[in-house]
Structure 1
């Protein structure tokens, strides 16, 4: 198994401006994330950014940074530019590691890359974990996925899927016993051939209404294989409370 890890990082954030460069016990968050990714089996770790300051900080800590255009609509579009800059072969694998996940488990990075390697007919591999509470099932911010018997994604939705018709007939929000409900985890491995095609793929109504970028692949006929994990990975940093929590974790480590 061979793959590279790419960390898209841009400064724009409505809740935490300048998030990639926020300090985590002496190092910027994006650098801490790159350090975690470097503990995986990735042959190379690359930070892709549209900010010179982020690029400078990454390189000052010994990691590779690529400057990309500032007008990319999505992180996947940024990855597409990266694989072109790096001149990667079509059959190469890229794992997208979010820049605000300094606690990401390197073993999970390896696992999603291995999943794509083992499923040559898929263009993308991602992760999910079983849902064990009704609050998550009915939370529109928790994306759900349903799969085929062999683990390929049928659909992603913010709605509670699958819908337990009989158990929910009385209108109560509950988790039906044994329901195969899965919470999608936003870690992706991509075939480079798909990333090269992605910017030209039309945006369909499913992606538009659900506001889920991965539906573009399904709407255009690409297969996504889903690795089901036993539990949730460490949460990323989206709010000041998240930042305080992660700073405490790193302070304890050090």
Structure 2
């Protein structure tokens, strides 16, 4: 099955303008932009036929082409990364069995997360979209709760039921747990990793579905699938010693740089 990875990137983010062009320093002190690090993360995934950056901004296009990325220009009217992926696939002419949306704010996504995601979707013909979830250890759960107490929109959490079917995704920390956990102790909370694998038919249909109240309130594009009765597969992935965090706010830059230094990522 042919796999395409699309990295949607926009300049005019309401929460963090110009985020794809923010520089991140790795363990060696070398600075690379967020979009370049996301591109390099995509290239490390095995079994992928093609990787493209999808953007509506000339500055991102020029920068991405400068480090060797293939770029597909999309409309400024795309409401989220999934809509941008759908337009990019249409502009490429289709021909892929699975389309992966590696959002441009997740440079720490290890390749096995995406490989597990693709394998999960292939193995479950009833699912139209798959997304990875990572069980929080105590330290990660504490960081999520600290963000919420400080009024920052940090990571997203997921709850799912039988056969991994997604029940809900939220920027709040769910499910509620009043317990205190040690830094490395597993918790019942799952961090949603902002990557998606779609079957092409579901992806093509997505822009035509109505935006529901939950997607509007949470600002989470995957909720459109749930609100329109589509099966979302949550694939549990393993950290294997890797730390994971998405770049949502300026305060996340030093956090991610510290993680990269600790893990020895250049």
TM-score category (smaller protein): 0.7 to 0.9
Cα contact 1:29–1:99 (8 A) shared by 2: yes
Please give the alpha-carbon distance, in whole angstroms, between the structure 2 residues aligned to 1:205 and 1:241: 29
Alpha-carbon offset, residue 101 of structure 1:
2.4
Please give the alpha-carbon distance, in whole angstroms, between the structure 2 residues aligned to 1:31 and 1:163: 36
Query: Match of 1:170?
Result: none
Structure-to-structure mapping, 1:51-90, within 5 angstroms: 51-89=57-95
Of the three residues 178, 188, 192, the one matched with 2:200 is 192
Structure 2 unmatched ranges of 5 or more: 25-29
TM-score, reference length from structure 2: 0.78
Please give the alpha-carbon distance, in whole angstroms, between the structure 2 residues aligned to 1:253 and 1:179: 27
1:227 match: secondary structure: strand
Larger radius of gyration: 1
Q: Deviations over 1:143-180 (max 9, x none)?
A: 3322222111122234554467xxxxxxxx3369x984
- Higher mean alpha-carbon deviation, 225-234 vs 1-10, is at 225-234
Query: Match of 1:221?
Result: 229
1:73 match: secondary structure: coil
Structure-to-structure mapping, 1:39-58, within 5 angstroms: 39-41=44-46, 42-58=48-64
Alpha-carbon offset, residue 185 of structure 1:
2.1
Cα contact 2:154–2:248 (8 A) shared by 1: no
Evaluate the alpha carbon distance shift between residue 87 and residue 158 of structure 1 in structure 2; reply closer, same or farther with a 3 A threshold.
Answer: same
Alpha-carbon offset, residue 15 of structure 1:
5.4
Cα contact 1:101–1:236 (8 A) shared by 2: yes
Query: Match of 1:22?
Result: 22
Q: Deviations over 1:72-111 (max 9, x none)?
A: 111111111011001114x621111121222321121211
Cα contact 1:132–1:175 (8 A) shared by 2: no
Please give the alpha-carbon distance, in whole angstroms, between the structure 2 residues aligned to 1:15 and 1:157: 17
Evaluate the alpha carbon distance shift between residue 100 and residue 208 of structure 1 in structure 2; reply closer, same or farther with a 3 A threshold.
Answer: closer
- Higher mean alpha-carbon deviation, 206-215 vs 133-142, is at 133-142
Please give the alpha-carbon distance, in whole angstroms, between the structure 1 residues aligned to 2:171 and 2:126: 26
TM-score, reference length from structure 1: 0.81
RMSD: 3.1
Structure 1 unmatched ranges of 5 or more: 165-172
- For these two proteins, the number of residue pairs brought into alignment is 244
Q: Deviations over 1:205-243 (max 9, x none)?
A: 332344332121012121111111234752233344433
Please give the alpha-carbon distance, in whole angstroms, between the structure 2 residues aligned to 1:213 and 1:205: 12
Please give the alpha-carbon distance, in whole angstroms, between the structure 2 residues aligned to 1:181 and 1:27: 32
Query: Match of 1:109?
Result: 114
- Higher mean alpha-carbon deviation, 62-71 vs 151-160, is at 151-160
Please give the alpha-carbon distance, in whole angstroms, between the structure 2 residues aligned to 1:222 and 1:212: 15
